[in-house]
Each structure stands twice: as C-alpha cells, then as structure tokens.
Amino acid sequence: MSGELTPGEFKSCCASFYADDVVRRILGDSFHPGGEALTLELLDAVKAGPDDDLLDVATGPGASAVLAARKKGCRVTGVDLSTENLARTGALAKERGVADLVTVREADAERLPFEDGSFDVVLCECAFCTFVDKTTAAREMARVLRPGGRLALSDMTLETDAFPEDLDTLLMRVACISDAVPGERLEAFFSDEGFVDLETGDARWALHEMVEDIRGRLLAVELASKLGKIDLGGIDVQEGKRMARRSIEIIEDGTVGYVTLTGRLPAR
Ligand SMILES: C[S@@+](CC[C@H](N)C(=O)[O-])C[C@H]1O[C@@H](n2cnc3c(N)ncnc32)[C@H](O)[C@@H]1O
C-alpha cells in the first residue's frame, strides 16, 4: 500500500481516478481487461442465470452489471465507492432496458451493507487488487454469499515482491495496480475463507489487448487536447504513453499478469 496516503485517502483517490472523464476516455466503457468477452466467460463458468442474485463488487461504470442482467437475466446489485460511476451504471441499465434488474448502492467492499447469505454469485473484476484490506474483502464476499454460492473474479497479478521501481508512481498506485498479489496468493485469500473448487485461468492476453487499446486511446486523447477539444486536467499523456510501453514489457516478461478465478462455497 502507498506510504503517501492513508487507507481512506487511497480509497477515495482510487474511486475519483476511475470516475474521471479523461480516464474514462482512455479506458473505454469497461474498466477491466478482456471486456465483455471475459465477463461472459466468467458468468458462463459459474453458470449465472435468471434465478441468481448477483453482487458486482466494485462495479465501476456498470458494463458488467448490465451485461449480467441483459445476457443472463440475473438480478444484479452493483456496489462501488464512486457515486459518479454508480450513476453511470444506473443510466446504462436504463438505456439498455434492464433498470428493473439492476440496483446500485454506494458501499465499501470491505464493509458490504448486506445480510449474510444474500447472494448466489459474487462478481468482482479488476478490483480486488485495489482493495486495501484484501482479507476482509474476501471474507465479506464469502459472508454475503449463500451456501453453495459462486465466485467469479478476474484480477491483475504481480509475480514479484517489488513493483518495478520506474512504474511505482503515485498514478500506478492510485490506478491501484501496484498492490496486486501473485496468482497463488490471490487464490489463497479465497481458500482461507472456505471457497472450494477454486480454479485460476491465465487471461494475460486480455491485459495485453487492453494496454494496446489504451495506447491507441492515449493518442486520440492527446490529439483532442492539442485541438483544444478536451481539458486533460492532471493527466500527463506522455507519462501515460511511457507507462503503456513499459507495461507491455512487464506483461511479456511475466512480471504482471491477469487471471480469472472461480470457485464456490460448500453447499452446507
Ligand atoms: C479498475 S475499476 C473496475 C471496475 C469494474 N469492475 C469493471 O470491470 O469495469 C476499479 C473500481 O473499484 C472501485 N473501488 C476501489 N476500491 C473499492 C472499495 N474498497 N469498495 C468498493 N469499490 C472500490 C473503484 O471506484 C473503481 O470503480
């Protein structure tokens, strides 16, 4: 965790970062590698369907919450710390005709405001690495699931003790990437909470694709700013381009990765 920020400041910085308009332009509609394709892979793996109450933890702008409602008919609750993103989720659900299936609520993943055993499926994409207290977040996910409830998660992994020094900037910390853990450790957070049949899948392709997309969008944002069409605020596009180049290197050498993780709680 960042030495410069308290846990509260870190969470609020992370939420504001992902609510920023320029950041949205750079990341696109969905804030996780693999987009809809990887979300559908996860939903299929846990057999999400119309009988399921699904909790999307750290739903961001809601692309996955809305997808789970549209394609699988799940009753979805999306929680996030960012009210701006929750408003986007609500608007998207309305626009796509699934407002009756999607509810949003401002909440911290480490203190979920739900009774024990409220959900059948917990979805959490590219967000576990951002949680300050990962043990508590995993425990909360287990608590709100019913017996037999399923976990569908994807996340960044970091297969080294130290994040590469030249990338360990405040931006990377606030973008919440530098607090990722190795794949084995990620799985252990959930086995410790009683999840069984845990399966980790390699989705590094999705990370590679996302960084390439981001590189393209950074160029578009740079052009729009040169033409005076957008205000970059505090975003340093040159630094973003450098980090994107370096990110490709550390994906290729295996320092960072992206994985899917599915599992379930025992039926009783
Ligand atoms: C990389 S985005 C992923 C968003 C979404 N899951 C997706 O795939 O598009 C990370 C999200 O985690 C949210 N977040 C970070 N820490 C959180 C916490 N402790 N509780 C709830 N949401 C949190 C941020 O506000 C942000 O929307």
Other Cβ atoms within 10 Å of 224 Cβ, number: 15
**Residue 228 CA to ligand 1 centre (angstroms):** 30
DSSP state for residue 181 in the 8-state scheme: B
Is 193 a pocket residue for ligand 1 (Cβ < 6 Å)?
no
Q: What is the CA radius of gyration of the chain?
A: 18
- Exposure string of 229-244, with b = 16+ CB inside 10 Å and e = fewer, is ebeeeebebeebeebb
Is 11 a pocket residue for ligand 1 (Cβ < 6 Å)?
yes
Give domain status of residue 244, yes or no: no
Is 130 a pocket residue for ligand 1 (Cβ < 6 Å)?
yes
Give domain status of residue 40, yes or no: yes
How many folded domains does the chain comprise?
A: 1
Give domain status of residue 176, yes or no: yes
Question: What local confidence, expressed as pLDDT, does residue 96 receive?
Answer: 97
Angle at 209 between CA 159 and CA 204, to 5 degrees: 30
Is 150 a pocket residue for ligand 1 (Cβ < 6 Å)?
no
Domain span at residue 91? 7-205+257-262
pLDDT < 70 stretches in the chain: 1-4, 22, 26, 29, 168-178, 234
> Cα(226)–Cα(75) distance, rounded to whole angstroms?
44
148 phi and psi angles, rounded to 5 deg: 85, 0
Give domain status of residue 138, yes or no: yes
Residue nearest atom 7 in ligand 1 by C-alpha distance: 31
Give domain status of residue 213, yes or no: no
Question: What local confidence, expressed as pLDDT, does residue 237 receive?
Answer: 79
Judged by phi (left if over 0) then psi (alpha if -120 to 50, else beta), residue 29 lies in: alpha
Give domain status of residue 268, yes or no: no
Residue nearest atom 9 in ligand 1 by C-alpha distance: 31
- Exposure string of 5-22, with b = 16+ CB inside 10 Å and e = fewer, is beeeebbebbbebbbbeb
Question: What local confidence, expressed as pLDDT, does residue 3 receive?
Answer: 52
Is 153 a pocket residue for ligand 1 (Cβ < 6 Å)?
no
Question: What local confidence, expressed as pLDDT, does residue 1 receive?
Answer: 46
Tokens of 138: 């995993």
**Residue 176 CA to ligand 1 centre (angstroms):** 9
**Residue 31 CA to ligand 1 centre (angstroms):** 9
Is 64 a pocket residue for ligand 1 (Cβ < 6 Å)?
yes
Which ligand 1 atom minimizes the distance to the CA of 175? 1
Question: What local confidence, expressed as pLDDT, does residue 65 receive?
Answer: 98
Give domain status of residue 234, yes or no: no
> Cα(158)–Cα(24) distance, rounded to whole angstroms?
24
**Residue 198 CA to ligand 1 centre (angstroms):** 23
What CATH code is carried by the domain that includes residue 39? 3.40.50.150
Give domain status of residue 217, yes or no: no
3-state secondary structure of 198: strand
